[in-house]
Structure formats: structure tokens, C-alpha cells
Amino acid sequence: MGLLSQQFDNSNIVITSVEGVLNWARLCSLWQMSFGLACCAIEMMAASASHYDIMRFGVLPRPSPRQCDVMIVAGTVTLKMATRVKRLYEQMAEPRYVVSMGSCSNCGGPYWEHGYHVLKGVDRVIPVDVYVPGCPPRPEALLEGWMRLQEKVRDFTLVKDSSKQTTEKQVA
């Protein structure tokens, strides 16, 4: 920084990496696919409403998977729905992320033993970035999950992590 230091008249300047700007821009405008599967969707809607206001994180619900960055799987994924969830995920443009919300979509929830019609975890058909526990999770829990996802986006880099032997499985 020797060349540039003390060369500007005012302090209205930010220095960062391209990667940092891109990640920052993306994590502040993660658009959400607006669909819900069960009671978790009610909490998801509560998180969107004025009290919790998830829109302050730059979340916009979009009606088409092609305009979305994040799919919140909010509710019980039945086997009938699982094929649709998979297809919707495939229609999203990369980079894309999945938040699994609630016990049902994490692991089958109360249907884990006798739910002949329930997929025991949405991660059996699509890769999941963040799991939000709860039955259903409160809106705060979803916000926490959302901030975890933002951390994940913030740390995204093209540079190899030399400290790790095996590269982390990149969700793409």
C-alpha cells in the first residue's frame, strides 16, 4: 500500500477484493423461492412479516425457481413432492443454496418410523447447506439459519484452501 498511502484528500474510499465485493453483494440479496410444504411455512411467513422482517437481509420471495438463489424447504417432504422439489432445485440457476427448515425436512421428523409416504430428510434428493432444527422452528431460528448461510456465502472463494487435504464438497 506504500504507493497509495496518504495520497487521498478524503476518506471516502473502500479497498477490497473483487471476491469480497461479489460475496458481499450476493449474501445481501439472497432471493428466496416462495413455496411452503407444511406448518413450517407458517413460521417462514411469520419471518417474512413485519415483526421479524427477513427482508432486511435482502430476501425477496420469488415465484419462479429461475430467479432464486435459495430454496427454503419448509415442511414435510412427501415422496410425491420429493420429485417436484428435486425438479425445482434443478431449475434454479447456480450458485444455489438450500435451507432445510424443521425436523420433517431434516430427517423425517415425527414421520420417521411410520411415515410410509414421507421422505426421511430432503438431503436424500438435494444437497442441503443449512439445517434449521425445530418443529416448527421459530422465526428467530430461521433468521439464525439465514445468517449461517450468509456466513457460508461470505467465505466462498476460488482459492484453494491449503490447510485442507481434501477439498470441501462445494454445493453447486
Per CB under 8 A, which of residues 2..21 are in contact with another protein? none
Query: Is residue 125 part of the contact set for another protein (CB under 8 A)?
Result: yes
Q: Which of 55, 60, 82, 171 binds another protein (CB under 8 A)?
A: 82
Q: Which of 64, 80, 147, 156 binds another protein (CB under 8 A)?
A: 80
Question: 73 φ, ψ to 5°?
Answer: -85, 95
Q: Which of 1, 116, 158, 165 binds another protein (CB under 8 A)?
A: 116
Q: Is 138 exposed, middle or buried (0-12, 13-18, 19+ CB in 10 A)?
A: middle
Spatial CA neighbour of 94 closest among 66, 120, 118 = 66
Distance of closest approach, residue 22 Cβ to another protein, in angstroms: 36
Residue-wise burial string across 115-125, b where 16 or more C-beta atoms lie within 10 A, e elsewhere: beebbbbbbeb
Spatial CA neighbour of 76 closest among 31, 41, 32, 114 = 41
Q: Which of 120, 138, 148, 154 binds another protein (CB under 8 A)?
A: 120
Distance of closest approach, residue 131 Cβ to another protein, in angstroms: 16
- Residue numbers at the binding site for another protein (CB under 8 A): 79-80, 82-83, 107-108, 112-113, 116-117, 119-120, 124-125
